[in-house]
Amino acid sequence: MLGGPYTFLRLIFTLREGFLRKPYPILGKIFLKLGSRV
């Protein structure tokens, strides 16, 4: 992975927060499901 697993997780959380702030409810729910699995 790029820079190790922590950098990858940080990137996912950043993208998830960005999608939740923007009007993308479907992507937001997907990222919430991915976040709950991690």
Instruction: State the pLDDT at residue 19.
Output: 65
pLDDT digits (tens, 9 = 90+) for 1-38: 456 778 888 888 887 777 666 666 677 777 778 776 65
Tell me the C-alpha distance between 9 and 2, whole Å.
10
Look up tokens 């820079």; give the residue: 3
Instruction: State the pLDDT at residue 5.
Output: 76
Task: Report yes or no: 20 and 4 within 8 Å, Cβ to Cβ.
Answer: no
Helix residue ranges, H only, 1-38: 5-21, 25-37
Task: Report yes or no: 17 and 10 within 8 Å, Cβ to Cβ.
Answer: no
Instruction: State the pLDDT at residue 17.
Output: 77
Tell me the C-alpha distance between 6 and 20, whole Å.
21
pTM of the model: 0.36
Instruction: State the pLDDT at residue 30.
Output: 78
